[in-house]
Amino acid sequence: MQDTGLFVVTVASEKGGVGKTTIATNLAVYLKALCEDLPVSIISFDNHFSVDNMFAIGPHHGQSVAGLFNGVPLDHAMQMGEYGVQFMVSERHLEPPNDDVRHLSRVLARGELSGILIIDTRPILDYFTRSALLAADLVLTPVKDRPSLVNASALQQALVEAGNTADRLWLVPSLIDSRVRLKEGVGIHEFIVMQAKERDFQIVDTCVAKSPKVESLTTNFSSRIHPVLTHGRNTAVHPQLKHLAGFIRERYEAEYPSVSAPLARVVASVEDLPPGRASHFATDCPVCHRRITGQEGYFYQDLRHHGTGFLHRSCLDQVLIDAELQTLFPDRGALVMHLPETGLTTDEGQVTLHLYDDDGEEIAVEVLPVEPSTRIIALLQAVTGREPEEMFREMLMVALTPEAPLTFLAEAGAAVFAQQRRLVLEDMRAKERL
């Protein structure tokens, strides 16, 4: 379990043809639909590219899942896809980097992702499946018949051998044909439930029905795969997947009650930042434009236009890559990015960085010419919504704190930031910078 609010759902089965990938990809869509502010990501260790074909928007030649095992930061490798779901490009020839199945768990523990991550695995207990089992907070195992039910025992044993606990595995009756009856009129679903309980398996209180309509969503004249939510709402599978997504969401919220509340409610304390309002709050990082929940990174406010939001730590590092002032960051304080009144319409245009400590005392100032500060200008443009030639006397203030932004705000940080903001503005006015 990760302290950053990342909840890992591994969908695994040692038997193919049980609807594993259909469940994994559709759950990502349904989870996002159930809670728009919840970051949802998906990766696949299989080589069928179903994840890419459902979520890719246009060309997707970014870092593949192989980057998970060669040091590529997750927040750089993930791409924003259809339906607001983040994904990584699949890899046709994925090779184990070594025999350490704990590598994936360590990567996920870095805190570069939050929300729910779904991992679609191969139908074999190889290095990658075992790695996904070890990293999982919840394992969903689709079963459609006795053989797949028997294989679930091997999967549970592998889960324990990988260092996880058996109680994280739940069976999901899948591809159930309600028309099929066994002896004495027992249906397939009832049979699987009965057999699962006899073997002391936990089983989800729903099933995923066999549906020709749903099967057709993966087969058409294009490579695009459509989700049940948008193309199969009239099927029995639609409410079943919704129920299953709710099952996952309940477990996420039980594990992270403080971070799973809708973002609009959690950031209500932003209203304490005069003259800003929660309605001005941006839910995407202005640098990478991906959804950010405030579980890591920094809180910022546009001092001129009153917009507020969060940005990733790694994104701020990239924005300030040409600045020396970053090495002087205090444990607590504030950074102000200031575009003076000359704007960007003349050769005199430049960005000035002001660093303050927790008491509002200026620590350092650094002036960057326009060309070296291209990344800062792009950040200001994203925050203000203005073109470079339209920006004038812009000021962006970033709260520098060791805590995650939401933790900072929850602990009276809004009032602290408001006080810092007042001191900063007074200092800049006193020195005739405004």
What is the model's pLDDT at position 370?
A: 67
CA separation, residue 242 to residues 28, 39, 128, 232 (Å): 11, 17, 28, 12
What is the model's pLDDT at position 259?
A: 54
- HEC string of the chain equals CCCCCEEEEEECCCCCCCCHHHHHHHHHHHHHHHCCCCCEEEEECCCCCHHHHHHCCCCCCCCEHHHHHCCCCHHHHCEECHHHCEECECCCCCCCCCCCCCHHHHHHCCCCCCEEEEEECCCCCCHHHHHHHHHCCEEEEEECCHHHHHHHHHHHHHHHHCCCCHHHEEEEEEEECCCCECHHHCEHHHHHHHHHHHCCCEECCCCEECCHHHHHCCCCCCCCCCCHHHHCCCCCHHHHHHHHHHHHHHHHHHHCCCCCCCHHHHHHHHHHCCCCCHHHEECECCCCCCECCCCCCEEEEECCCCCEEEECHHHHHHHCCCCCHHHHCCCCEEEEEECCCCCCCCCCCEEEEEEEECCCCEEEEEEEECHHHHHHHHHHHHHHCCCHHHCCCCEEEEEECCCCHHHHHHHHHHHHHHHHHHHHHHHHHHCCCC
Distance CA(189)–CA(181), nearest Å, equals: 10
Q: Where in the chain is the domain with CATH 3.40.50.300?
A: 6-255
Which of these CATH numbers, 3.40.50.620, 3.40.190.10, 3.30.420.40, 3.40.50.300, describes 6-255? 3.40.50.300
Distance CA(73)–CA(304), nearest Å, equals: 33
Task: List the chain residues with pLDDT less than 70.
Answer: 1-4, 59-62, 221, 258-280, 341-349, 370, 372, 410-412, 432-434
Distance in angstroms between the alpha carbons of the first and the last residue of the chain: 48
Tracing tokens 């504030």 back to the chain, one arrives at 334
Pairing of strands 333-338, 395-400: antiparallel
What is the model's pLDDT at position 411?
A: 60
What is the model's pLDDT at position 221?
A: 65
